[in-house]
């Protein structure tokens, strides 16, 4: 008997039949003697629909009100799932993020977890109830307002509860059978990864792989929470994301010690590219620019600096950021233009990021050559390049991105003869 935290995404609870299927799965887990805590996302594309609705009313909604609006989606899911479980003969109680003890900072839309005090959840499971928690949301420690954690925040909620409750495992249910070597929606021959280290999963999440949210992986790694990524549509074994060697999780006897160098390919359509042209090539200008961006609370990914196209004594600085944050960053930079002294700004929303992830990138010759040769053969031009110990990332045209993913996946012998199953979801 153990404690299992289960997280179900929006595609798993997209309609009444999906909710019933999830309820039966939870009851089956409980019937095996486990205590169960469940975290749910909003139904289907509810969050996107709410965003679209708000956009029809205003271009500049107050952040507090947006959090109040978007937190409604998960509350709908949790209550309906509790009803279904009760209807099937088990006891269930639903909790909002604040009721479950998720205490955050005051940053609306991007709140960070400060404390987790799940006393009410613990009391519920001690009484034999299934505790169902609304993901993605919490309450500000200072203002006592409802906050949301950003897209994918339900994953983070689940891991945070697993860590605080001392759960044996955190199961992340989605619409595919686990983590694949590439998005199976793009590469049908992608191979399911049986086990992957927290570090490699961190890089895949950071590079656009949508199967797990970056913050979720970071949290799990920090607190040593093992993750099991699997499908709510099948009973197949999924992908285990294991903490680092210094954590308590050990490799079982008989498992291979040598792992493939290349873990998988990730891509991201949600980023934009911004180029600041004609920046004075003197110390301190980059700090000014990124100080302005930081004040706008935007997250920067890749950065490249080149000699300016506008002549000597100047430089061009390009960077990528989430498309949703482009407007605020451009406004902030244009406001600071006289102080910084640059000439112009260009931005491009029609870009995509491709990343190759795996251990030993720098210690194994030929990886970079194979990578760029595959892009060359596929006719894919590269705008930006970024590397790390376990990652090579490039930015290219959005309309070439899927071709690039398939080319890289094949070049590194990640294809299989078995077509991956996608049970549902849009990949939004």
* Residue-level pLDDT at 45: 87
Determine, yes or no, domain membership for 239: yes
Section 339-358 average pLDDT = 92
Residue-wise DSSP of 380-421: ---SEEEEETTEEEEEEEGGGHHHHHHHHHHHTT---SSPPP
Determine, yes or no, domain membership for 76: yes
Section 19-25 average pLDDT = 95
* Residue-level pLDDT at 122: 97
What is the count of structural domains for the chain?
1
- Report how far residue 301's alpha carbon sits from residue 55's, in angstroms, rounded to the nearest whole number: 26
272: closest CA among 314, 233, 211, 326? 326
142: closest CA among 103, 112, 181? 103
Angle at 168 between CA 74 and CA 207, to 5 degrees: 60
351: closest CA among 330, 371, 322? 322
192-226 residue pLDDT tens? 999 998 888 877 876 667 778 777 887 888 888 99
Determine, yes or no, domain membership for 82: yes
Section 282-303 average pLDDT = 92
Q: Which range among 150-154, 210-214, 347-351 shows the weakest confidence by mean pLDDT?
A: 210-214
* Residue-level pLDDT at 193: 92
Determine, yes or no, domain membership for 267: no
Section 46-67 average pLDDT = 93
* Residue-level pLDDT at 359: 63
Domain range holding 80? 3-246
Q: Which range among 82-86, 249-253, 352-356 shows the weakest confidence by mean pLDDT?
A: 249-253
* Residue-level pLDDT at 220: 86
- Indicate the average pLDDT of the chain: 88
Determine, yes or no, domain membership for 347: no
Q: Which range among 92-101, 354-363, 415-424 shows the weakest confidence by mean pLDDT?
A: 354-363
Evaluate if residue 108 carries a pLDDT over 60: yes
Determine, yes or no, domain membership for 346: no
* Residue-level pLDDT at 252: 43
Q: How confident is the model at residue 67 (pLDDT cuts 50, 70, 90)?
A: very high
* Residue-level pLDDT at 360: 59
Evaluate if residue 250 carries a pLDDT over 80: no
Determine, yes or no, domain membership for 353: no
- Please tell me which residue, 250 or 426, carries the higher pLDDT value: 426
Determine, yes or no, domain membership for 37: yes
CA atoms within a 13 Å half-sphere pointing along the CA-CB vector of 53: 9
* Residue-level pLDDT at 195: 92
Evaluate if residue 364 carries a pLDDT over 70: no
Evaluate if residue 109 carries a pLDDT over 70: yes
Both tokens of residue 153? 């925040």
* Residue-level pLDDT at 386: 87
Instruction: For residue 44, give the CATH number of its domain.
Output: 3.40.1160.10
Evaluate if residue 390 carries a pLDDT over 80: no
- Please tell me which residue, 44 or 425, carries the higher pLDDT value: 44
* Residue-level pLDDT at 257: 26
179-188 residue pLDDT tens? 998 888 889 9
Q: What is the DSSP letter of 324?
A: G
């Amino acid at each position: 008997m153990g404690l299992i935290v289960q997280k179900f995404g929006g595609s798993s609870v997209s309609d009444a039949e999906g909710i019933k299927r999830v309820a039966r799965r939870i009851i089956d887990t409980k019937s095996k003697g486990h205590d169960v805590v469940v975290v749910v996302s909003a139904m289907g594309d509810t969050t996107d629909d709410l965003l679209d609705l708000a956009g029809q009313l205003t271009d500049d909604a107050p952040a507090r009100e947006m959090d109040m609006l978007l937190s409604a989606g998960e509350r709908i899911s949790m209550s309906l799932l509790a009803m279904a479980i009760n209807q099937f003969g088990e006891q269930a109680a639903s909790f909002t993020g604040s009721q479950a003890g998720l205490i955050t900072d005051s940053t609306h839309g991007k709140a960070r977890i400060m404390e987790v005090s799940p006393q009410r959840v613990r009391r519920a499971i001690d009484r034999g109830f299934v505790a169902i928690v609304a993901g993605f949301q919490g309450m500000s420690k200072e203002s006592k307002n409802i906050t949301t954690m950003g897209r994918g925040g339900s994953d983070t909620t689940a891991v945070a509860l697993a860590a605080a409750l001392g759960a044996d495992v955190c199961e992340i249910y989605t619409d595919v059978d686990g983590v694949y070597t590439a998005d199976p929606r793009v590469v049908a021959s992608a191979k399911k990864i049986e086990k992957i280290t927290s570090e490699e999963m961190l890089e895949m999440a950071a590079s656009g792989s949508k199967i797990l949210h970056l913050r979720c992986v970071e949290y799990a790694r920090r607190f040593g929470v093992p993750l099991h990524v699997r499908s709510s549509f099948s009973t197949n074994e999924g992908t285990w994301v294991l903490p680092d060697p210094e954590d308590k999780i050990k490799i079982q006897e008989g498992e291979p010690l040598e792992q493939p160098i290349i873990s998988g390919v990730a891509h991201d359509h949600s980023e934009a590219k911004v180029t600041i042209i004609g920046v004075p090539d003197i110390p301190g200008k980059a700090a000014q620019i990124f100080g302005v961006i930081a004040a706008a609370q935007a997250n920067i990914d890749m950065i490249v600096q080149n000699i300016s196209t506008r002549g000597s004594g100047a430089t061009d600085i390009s960077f990528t950021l989430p498309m949703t944050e482009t407007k605020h960053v451009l406004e902030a930079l244009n406001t600071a233009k006289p102080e910084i002294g640059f000439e112009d700004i260009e931005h491009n929303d029609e870009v995509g990021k491709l990343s190759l992830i795996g251990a030993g990138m720098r210690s194994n010759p030929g990886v970079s050559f194979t990578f760029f040769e595959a892009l060359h053969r596929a006719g894919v031009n590269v705008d930006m390049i970024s590397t790390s110990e376990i990652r090579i990332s490039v930015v290219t045209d959005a309309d070439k991105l899927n071709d690039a993913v398939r080319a890289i996946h094949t070049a590194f012998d990640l294809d299989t003869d078995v077509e991956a199953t996608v049970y549902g979801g849009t990949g939004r």
